[in-house]
Structure 1
Amino acid sequence: MNSEFTIAVHSLVLLAYRPDHMATSDMIAHNVCTHPARVRKVLALLRKQGYVTAKEGIGGGFLLNRDPAEVTLAEIYCLTSMGSVKPNWCSGDVEQDCIIACNMATVMDHIFAGAEQRLIESFNQLTVRDVLEQVRMQQRQKA
């Protein structure tokens, strides 16, 4: 799975936590512990899809544009990371005269597709609000 998914979820949860405050990409990047350019790239995608709004210039930043209870992690995964469960390389070679080598890539493709579908089904059960509540619960346990 790629890091864009984690950056997107982290950013959306942070914006859900601060619904009445704009957050700059620098502030979000500091919170996520990554470079602001990476955050801006992910936020641009989220903005294009209507998850966040942005105001440019002094006093600008990002706001959550959707109800956190209605944004599933499955939506964010499909937007940022679809296909990332399958590695870029798979063993096997259809040209070889071996039952294993010539069929392994196809079999593994099906396995990865099934795994990704189960992952999406699992992520479909979680919303940005759920993640925010888990963060709050974790904080209460530390106190």
Structure 2
Amino acid sequence: MTSDFTLAVHSLTLLSLLPDRMSTSDAIAESACVHPVRIRRVLSLLRNNGLIQTKEGTGGGFIFTADPKEVTLRAIFKITSEGAIQPKCPNQNDQCVVGSNMKNVLFSIFSDAENHLGQFLHQYTIEDVASLVHMRHEAL
């Protein structure tokens, strides 16, 4: 899993909790404790996939345009991290039964794992994450 996934979930959750669902990249970066350039890169992925829009000029920022009830963590995973859990295999030795097959075997296993992870993440939406954040905050 990449940090882009976490930053995307963080950004969308923050935007979903704002009354007008808009914030600057600097404010989101401050909330996530990362450099604004990292947030802008993630926000660009989200914008390119239709989850947010940019409003230019004074009072501008990033606007969450999708419905938080419909944006699943699986969708965010696909945007930010698909294939990230695949093992990195060195060159293979075609003369060895293990070496010639290891890459394909591990790829198959980890593809299955990624599919299971996707099914699990599909159960959660940005609205669910926002609710969990709110519940934890109230418990403090």
Band of TM-score, shorter chain: over 0.9
Q: Extract unaligned runs of 5+ from structure 2.
A: none
Q: Secondary structure at the match of 1:53?
A: strand
Q: Secondary structure at the match of 1:54?
A: strand
Q: Secondary structure at the match of 2:82?
A: coil
Q: 1:48: how far off?
A: 1.8
Q: Supply the distance in 2 between the matched residues of 1:121 and 1:103 (Cα, whole angstroms).
A: 28
The TM-score normalised by the length of structure 1 is 0.92
| 2:129 aligned partner | 131
The one-character-per-residue Cα deviations of 1:15-64 (angstroms, maximum 9, x if unpaired) are 00003152000000000111101111111121122111111122111111
Contact 1:91 1:101 in 2 (8 A): no
Q: 1:92: how far off?
A: 6.8
Contact 2:53 2:65 in 1 (8 A): yes
The one-character-per-residue Cα deviations of 1:79-108 (angstroms, maximum 9, x if unpaired) are 111100113x22572423x32222111110
Q: Give, as a single letter, the amino acid of the residue that structure 1 aligns with 2:115.
A: Q
After superposition, residues 1-143 of structure 1 pair within 5 angstroms as: 1-87=1-87, 89-90=88-89, 93-96=92-95, 98-142=96-140
Contact 1:68 1:128 in 2 (8 A): yes
Contact 2:21 2:64 in 1 (8 A): no
Sequence identity (%) = 46
Q: Secondary structure at the match of 1:11?
A: helix
Contact 1:19 1:63 in 2 (8 A): no
* Number of residue pairs matched by the alignment: 140
Q: 1:109: how far off?
A: 0.5
The TM-score normalised by the length of structure 2 is 0.93
Contact 1:24 1:60 in 2 (8 A): yes
Q: Secondary structure at the match of 2:58?
A: coil
Change over 3 Å in CA distance of 1:107–1:129 after alignment to 2: same
CA RMSD of aligned residues (A): 1.4
